[in-house]
Amino acid sequence: MQGKVMWVTGATSGIGRATAIYCAGQGAKVVALGRRAELGQSLVAEIEQSGGEALYLPCDVTLEHEVDAAVEETLESLGRLDYAFNNAGMFLREPALESHDSATWDAVMKSNLTSYYYCMRAEARAMRRTRNAYDVDCAIVNNASVVAHRGASASGLAYTVAKHGVLGLTRQAAVEYAREGIRVNAVSPGPTLTEATAKGLDLPESVKQARLDALNPTGRLVAVEHIAQAVAFLCSEAASMINGQDIPLDGGQLAQL
């Protein structure tokens, strides 16, 4: 990834932050997007202290004009866009179908699906300019979820539908850009170890392990670093013939259903 420019949305915490740090360590110039400026600047400082390059751009990906402006600022500042990891989104406890409300539906869909559409459209435009100027292949990776493949009692209605939609966007864009030098793939994490999930596992060891065993055959949560490594792989030349695909990162959870 040496010298390549990479977008990471939702980069101020969790999976996005880990991916930004990992890809910067692989030589990418990371453009970290997020709404929390203090966390964004802290991320940039950490990457730079480790010898990497990064730029923080404040951006609410649910706002079309902010996404378009962030792409233009990326091109003005760094001259190109090679890779993108669309990761920003929201998760909340949604009511069941009969009591679901339109406001919740709209908010979750905008955050977890429409924002991907805004980002992918802007990224594709920028990547075509990069292709014309540098004659290099580009890649987009979308963060889906294991619930993009099934329903789940622990997931919400709109969230599950949105993640199914992310895979649809991924596959359609992969076909449209197959001959344009832009590959589009996705990753589908299972339950992932973040600050929030770690707090939920403050349990007696036997109880904790029983819960983890129920999540996937490995009996442990997915680490954010696992997702970061998969994203970097999908952007790399090693994945040059992988297009329109989704990689479940779930320890075998989907395989045992």
Which residues are marked as active site? 159
CA distances in angstroms from 192 to 7, 145, 209, 220, 221, listed in the order given: 22, 10, 15, 9, 5
| Residues in contact with 48: Cβ distance below 8 Å, sequence separation at least 6, in sequence order | 54
CA distances in angstroms from 79 to 7, 74, 91, 92, 130, listed in the order given: 13, 7, 34, 37, 8
First to last CA, the chain: 36
Other C-beta atoms closer than 10 Å to the C-beta of 136 total 14
What type of residue sits at position 209? Answer: Q
| Residues in contact with 114: Cβ distance below 8 Å, sequence separation at least 6, in sequence order | 62
